[in-house]
Amino acid sequence: MAETTGQQGISFRRYTPEDLRACTRLAEEAWPPGSDLAAKIEVSWGMEGYIESSLMNANWTEIAYDSQGVVGFLFGRIDKYRGEVAVPGSLFGELPTLAKYVVGKYRKTPGILALFWTLLLTELKLKVNMPRSDAEIRLFIVDSKHRGKGIGGMLIDRFLHTARDAGSTLVTVYTDDKTSNWQFYEKYGFRRVGTFHDNVTSYFCNVDSTGMIYVLDLKKAQATA
Ligand SMILES: CC(C)(COP(=O)(O)OP(=O)(O)OC[C@H]1O[C@@H](n2cnc3c(N)ncnc32)[C@H](O)[C@@H]1OP(=O)(O)O)[C@@H](O)C(=O)NCCC(=O)NCCS
């Protein structure tokens, strides 16, 4: 795909497997483990699994980069968009991919089994609470050194623009109240429609955390734009 240059020397392209390490680094930095878990395991393998599982069913995998490398990314699903071929998800959602990394590598580590259990609980809660949508933000991070410069705004604008053009009506996203900048979504017109005790974030960060589901009604957003 042709590269697209945005403002401030930032360009955009599709994700390739060579980006896995850079995306993992950004995720590790955005979501550091609590000291309890950090003492038990090396988290980077789990994060690689998290990145790969977020790529499942994602047919919008955009990398923002500058001359130094990857500065942010947004992976999402847009049902009617035919631009990229998504890696198909499995019947059990993201769990098999995560298990490949997490349980496979650390099967003798009690901390990792507990983490996997909390992932399973959160996955189930998402299945119950997440409204059906025709577009979804699956993973979205900007390098902390580059935040506040408009890169996240460009990434989400490009995703929403494509979703709208493809005829999507409802965008969903799962986030949490402790480790993510969920206020960003409210600025973009997303509405909170569900909350639940977020087992995986609570365990991972060793802090009680609430999972939140946000939706954006693209028809309404267009009417008020
Ligand atoms: C959320 C995130 C992607 C935003 O990226 P960013 O590049 O800093 O965002 P931008 O600089 O493009 O900001 C765009 C707008 O959102 C606003 N904004 C950004 N972060 C915000 C926050 N935490 N709270 C409220 N508003 C915020 C900015 O003020 C800006 O508004 P303006 O256009 O009126 O100036 C980034 O903070 C991040 O990666 N956070 C960690 C991971 C995360 O939370 N991911 C999303 C939730 S899962």
pLDDT reported for residue 33: 81
pTM above 0.85, yes or no: yes
d(CA 203, CA 211): 12
pLDDT reported for residue 113: 75
Encode burial over 121-152: b for 16+ CB neighbours within 10 A, e otherwise.
ebbebbeeebeebbbbbbbbbbbeebbeeebb
Q: Which amino acid, 21?
A: R
219 C-beta closer than 6 A to ligand 1: no
Name 169's Cβ contacts closer than 8 Å, sequence gap at least 6. 134, 217, 218, 219
Please state which architecture CATH assigns to domain 10-81+91-224: 3-Layer(aba) Sandwich (3.40)
151 C-beta closer than 6 A to ligand 1: yes
Residue ranges per structural domain of the chain: 10-81+91-224
Q: Is 139 in contact with 74 (CB distance < 8 Å)? A: yes
d(CA 119, CA 61): 23
**Residue the block writes with tokens 């980069």:** 65
Task: Name which residue sits closest to atom 28 of ligand 1, judged by CA.
Answer: 148
Angle subtended by helix axes 44-55 and 95-106, to nearest 10: 160
> Coil, helix or strand for 6?
coil
Q: Is 26 in contact with 141 (CB distance < 8 Å)? A: yes
The CA distances from residue 196 to 7, 47, 85, 124, 215, in Å, are 38, 23, 32, 11, 15
Tens of pLDDT along the chain (225 residues)? 556 666 679 999 999 999 999 999 999 899 888 877 776 666 666 788 889 889 988 999 999 999 999 999 999 999 999 877 777 766 666 667 667 666 665 555 666 777 778 888 998 999 899 999 999 999 999 999 999 999 999 999 999 999 999 999 999 999 999 999 999 999 999 999 999 999 989 988 888 999 999 999 998 876 665
The CA distances from residue 8 to 1, 68, 90, 149, in Å, are 21, 13, 39, 9
Taking the alpha carbons at both ends of the chain, their separation in whole angstroms is: 30
Rounded to the nearest whole angstrom, what is the distance from the C-alpha of residue 184 to the centroid of ligand 1? 5
Rounded to the nearest whole angstrom, what is the distance from the C-alpha of residue 105 to the centroid of ligand 1? 34
